[in-house]
A and B are shown apart, each in its own frame.
Chain A
Amino acid sequence: DQQVKQNSPSLSVQEGRISILNCDYTNSMFDYFLWYKKYPAEGPTFLISISSIKDKNEDGRFTVFLNKSAKHLSLHIVPSQPGDSAVYFCAASDPGTYKYIFGTGTRLKVLA
Chain B
Amino acid sequence: GAGVSQSPSNKVTEKGKDVELRCDPISGHTALYWYRQRLGQGLEFLIYFQGNSAPDKSGLPSDRFSAERTGESVSTLTIQRTQQEDSAVYLCASSLGLAGVGTQYFGPGTRLLVL
Distance to closest chain B CB from A48 (angstroms): 10
Indicate the size class of the contact surface on chain B: 20 to 34
> Is A101 engaged at the interface, CB distance under 8 Å to the other chain?
yes
Closest to A102 in B: B43
Closest to A49 in B: B103
Indicate the size class of the contact surface on chain A: 20 to 34
> Is B4 engaged at the interface, CB distance under 8 Å to the other chain?
yes
User: CA of A82 to CA of B33 in the docked complex: distance in angstroms?
Assistant: 31
User: CA of A32 to CA of B4 in the docked complex: distance in angstroms?
Assistant: 22
Q: Known contacts being A43-B4, A43-B107, A99-B56, is A105 close to B42, with CB within 8 Å?
A: yes
Interface string of A84-97 (1 = CB under 8 A from B): 00000101011101
Q: Known contacts being A102-B35, A104-B42, A105-B42, is A46 close to B48, with CB within 8 Å?
A: no
Decide if A89 touches B43 in the complex (CB within 8 Å). yes
Distance to closest chain A CB from B30 (angstroms): 12
Decide if B35 touches A94 in the complex (CB within 8 Å). no
User: CA of A36 to CA of B45 in the docked complex: distance in angstroms?
Assistant: 15
Instruction: Give residues in B with beta carbon < 8 Å to A.
Output: 4, 6, 31, 33, 35, 41-43, 45, 48, 50, 55-56, 59, 91, 93, 98-101, 103-109
The 7 tightest CB contacts between A and B, nearest first, are: A98-B100, A43-B106, A104-B42, A102-B43, A98-B99, A44-B106, A43-B108
